Structure 1
Amino acid sequence: MPIIKILPHPEYAPQGAEIEAPIGTSICEALLDHDIKIEHACEMSCACTTCHVVVREGYDSLNEPEEGEEDMLDRAWGLEPQSRLSCQAILAQRNVTIEIPKYSINHAKENH
């Protein structure tokens, strides 16, 4: 199983974290399954950008972003070339390292 390394984030993973997840799992699902409560206001339907992450390593091992995801990413805070919506980024065989941006466009946190 691939490992997701999460770089330190003051709210979601203050010390950083490493988790394992099955191939074919989205990064968002994997984080939530390991009690890293990343925002996902649209319930992982690719309709917001609250689950935006920057893939620091392993970007090429993920599935290709579809047009809908690319359109949504244009609205994300802190967009970078290696940005993905974690609900749409599907794990393959290689490990990935992600950074959760400090801010999102959400004005109020969702209670999922």
Structure 2
Amino acid sequence: MPVIKILPHPEYCPQGAEIQAPTGTSICEALLDNHIEIEHACDMSCACTTCHVIVREGFNSLEAMDECEEDLLDRAWGLEPNSRLSCQAIVAQKDLVVEIPKYSINHAKEKH
């Protein structure tokens, strides 16, 4: 089972973490299943950018993003060439290293 290494984030994962994720699950689902409460204001429907992550290693193992995700990413805070919406990035066979950006464009956080 692939491993996702999450780099330290002051709010969501202060110490960083390594989790196992079944192939075919989204990065967002894997984080949430492991109690890393990343924002996902649209409930993972590819309608916002609050679950934006930067894939530091393993980016090319993910399926190519579709046009909807590409368009939305243009609005994400801290966009980088290896940015993805974690709700759309499906874990393949390779291990990943992801960074959750310091900020998101969400103005009102809610518990999900």
> TM-score, normalised on structure 1?
0.99
Rounded to whole Å, the distance in 2 between the matches of 1:102 and 1:110 is 17
Deviating 4+ runs (over 4 angstroms):
none
Post-superposition Cα deviations, 1:74-99, rounded to whole Å, max 9, x if no partner, equal 00000000000000000000000000
SS in 1 for 2:18: strand
AA aligned opposite 2:21: A
Residue 108 of structure 1 pairs with residue 111 of structure 2: no
Residue 92 of structure 1 pairs with residue 111 of structure 2: no
1:69 corresponds in structure 2 to 69
Structure 2 residues not aligned, in runs of 5+: none
1:55 corresponds in structure 2 to 55
**Residue 111 of structure 1: how far off its partner (Å):** 1.2
The count of aligned residue pairs is 112
Structure 1 residues not aligned, in runs of 5+: none
SS in 2 for 1:37: coil
Identity %: 78
> TM-score, normalised on structure 2?
0.99
Rounded to whole Å, the distance in 1 between the matches of 2:61 and 2:110 is 30
